[in-house]
A and B are shown apart, each in its own frame.
Chain A
Amino acid sequence: MTLNRRQFIHTGLLGALSLGIAARLAAPHAAPGFAASAADRQLIAALGRGMLGSLPATAPIALVDNTLVAIAGLPLASQAELRQLFDLLQQPLARMALGLRPPWQDARAEQVRAMLDRWRYSRLTLLRSAYQGLHGLLYASWYGDPASWQAAAYQQPAIMKGYL
């Protein structure tokens, strides 16, 4: 079972990657980039719950907004990779194969985290890199936001107050 699942993930991700490449070859003039959808927002919110744990009430919306801004600032090659990962995660079959039954908007934080932790320690560098990519993106999006700073007891230098 575990082996099958691994194999599925392996071929699933690689398949998606090669499909993505084929799609790009087929449509070289389509606007490249991430092109976020409403489903992406739900996915980011769910991944954020799992990765970051519970946050202040207003945080999830800011997290999703900041994440989308951050993605839009990445080089097109990275945007395309994230697009492939997000497309894959949004396929119900792939999601279940990765061990997550409920749809993203209903998934509890612990369920998402359990899935992320399997990637985090996976033998496959592809899954570990997906985990680390999401880790970097989500943490940068939250801790770059001044709303997060109080919890980290961080503030900008007082001496600069009048100058900024």
Chain B
Amino acid sequence: MSKLPDLWQDGLAAGWKVTDASQPGPDLKLECDVVIVGSGAGGGMAAEQLASAGLQVVLLEEGGLYSSRHFNLREAEAYPQLYQESANRLTADKGITILQGRTVGGSTTVNWTSSFRTPADTLAWWRSHHGLEAMQDAALQPWFEQAEARLNIGPWQTDPNMNNALLAQGCSKLGIRYAPIRRNVKGCWNLGYCGTGCATNAKQSMLVTTIPVALSRGAQLLTRVRVQQLWLSADRTRAEGVIGLALGPDGIRPSGRRVQVRARQVVLSAGAIGTPAVLLRSQAPDPYRLLGKRTFLHPVVMSGGLFRQPVEGYNGAPQTIYSDHFLHTQPIDGPLGFKLEVPPVHPLIMASTLPGNGMAHQRLMKTLPYWQVSLALMRDGFHPQSVGGSVGLRSDGTPVLSYPLGDVEWEAARRALLQMAEIQFAAGARAVLPVHEDAGMATSWRQAQDMIRQLPMQILRTRVVSAHVMGGAMMSADERHGVVDQAGRHWQLGNVTVIDGSVFPTSIGANPQLSVYALALRAADALRRRL
């Protein structure tokens, strides 16, 4: 529990309308202008804009309310409290581990603060191959600027921690271009615990920016409400509102309390996987069978480098250096390019990610402070064979993503493991361990090459993770090619708007939060005008 000032305590004392639906009580029936499902990057931005325009807003969030006073830097508490499925959401074949937030503020409460605008080549592709003529650089510029100003996005002035500095050193030795990452922070203590919730409130997540403002303008927030489905009109052309189930205090089992919100407009901001799931459960019109399809992940592979000097990848801002070099070594729709970054290296996540077991694994963990870890984010959704995954429902109605990895992804994974090893040796690594069940420690670049070329590229051997779920309710220029229009409005349900990362037609090719924020501001503005 952090004793630093917590703006939520003051806000609640001042009378913010916040209801923890896991508490016992009668069924809840509400009415408002706009109901927003999900309080993450998209939902938070939309809530502030719409509440500030004088509209009556109700925000429904499946997760609980945890704010800075609850954040104690402990992974064992943070993952079950703040993440979907205890930070262990898996694809249908269990081959990819997915990190997504499930708490007030959504993934922004636990994300690593890296801030990139949507790359120009991604927008150009959206225009040329998906007909999204509205996605012009100049037209989007003001929305990026507004989001950046709102969240204090700017250059990070402090030196990178050693984990990031070694990525820079390795790149620089090999003549590979790298650059510093901009961050959405204000008065950051450089702690490195963004992933377990920022205890100092420095991270400008939705939890401390837009949602508090929306509440102070009269919006109402209900936590621990899992929206089950839209409440569709008889002719299935619009939604009367939404229907949800309150979860019990464990956040898992429905408590039996029902929640019904009638609204003029419904905004779906439950994130990729989450938003398609609500629409699937509603059996919303989907005449071209596109719902849930083209869900992208930026599948990530990782490489560990063992150094002589302490790296302490758990201390210091998690991501401050990146390299886009390997996004540009081939055409955007050629063999998958990848972005290089590093993850924070905390004991729980590191221990469960590292391959092996028994004494061999204990030896790895004994040297925890000496490991530098690099990651490669593959840009999916551009190559003709990279069509992403598809969201389906389990028998209990919860969503599951199938994302089969094919030759295109595995070829890129092997290439990325090779490049990361080369960079780690160039930075002075004593040994490199590709994060793969069949890999050993290579003590030279030569040995690493021989080993990585032989590694069987298969799920549940090669470790693949993702913290960037995108798509599944894609935008399109006409109703035959997507689920929503270029302002997020559902093609068949006139008063339903999707405002989150599920509208992207491909992956972003960069960490997605700023893309979600900018398009959310734009979509919320269009919605406000429609009202």
Which of B1, B73, B93, B362 touches A156 (beta carbons < 8 Å)?
B73
Instruction: Report if B369 contacts A (CB, 8 A).
Output: yes
Given A52-B358, A76-B396, A143-B191 contact (CB < 8 Å): no
Q: Is A75 touching B252 in the complex (CB atoms < 8 A)? A: yes
Which of A116, A140, A151 touches B348 (beta carbons < 8 Å)?
A140
Distance in Å from the Cβ of B1 to the closest Cβ of chain A?
7
Distance in Å from the Cβ of A161 to the closest Cβ of chain B?
11
Given A53-B359, A154-B347, A163-B3, A140-B85 contact (CB < 8 Å): no
A140 to B73, CA, bound (A): 15
CB under 8 Å from chain A, chain B span 18-41? none
Taking residues whose C-beta sits less than 8 angstroms from the other chain, chain B's interface range is 35 or more
Distance in Å from the Cβ of B19 to the closest Cβ of chain A?
23
Contact residues of A: prevailing secondary structure: helix
Q: Is B358 touching A136 in the complex (CB atoms < 8 A)? A: no
Q: Is B460 touching A143 in the complex (CB atoms < 8 A)? A: no
Residues on the B chain within 8 Å of A32, using CB: 253
Instruction: Report if B528 contacts A (CB, 8 A).
Output: no
Given A76-B252, A163-B2, A140-B352 contact (CB < 8 Å): yes
Q: Which of B74-82, B202-210, B284-292, B473-481 lies at the binding interface? A: B74-82
Q: Is A53 touching B86 in the complex (CB atoms < 8 A)? A: no
Contact residues of B: prevailing secondary structure: loop
Taking residues whose C-beta sits less than 8 angstroms from the other chain, chain A's interface range is 35 or more
Q: Hey, what's the 0/1 contact readout for B354-393 against A, CB within 8 Å counting as 1?
A: 0001110110011011000000000000000000000000
Distance in Å from the Cβ of A32 to the closest Cβ of chain B?
8
Residues on the B chain within 8 Å of A75, using CB: 85, 252, 398
Distance in Å from the Cβ of B406 to the closest Cβ of chain A?
15
Residues in B lying within 8 Å of A, measured CB to CB: 1-4, 72-76, 79-80, 85-86, 88, 93-95, 97, 189, 191-193, 199, 250, 252-253, 314-315, 346-348, 350-352, 357-359, 361-362, 365-366, 368-369, 394-396, 398, 437-438, 459-461
Q: Jot down 17 A-B pairs with beta carbons below 8 A, ordered by A.
A: A33-B253, A74-B252, A75-B85, A120-B357, A121-B437, A131-B460, A132-B94, A135-B352, A139-B361, A140-B79, A140-B348, A144-B79, A151-B366, A152-B366, A157-B193, A164-B3, A164-B72
Known: A76-B252, A144-B74. 14 other contacts (CB 8 A): A52-B357, A66-B76, A70-B80, A70-B86, A73-B86, A77-B396, A113-B358, A125-B93, A128-B459, A129-B93, A136-B97, A140-B79, A154-B368, A164-B2
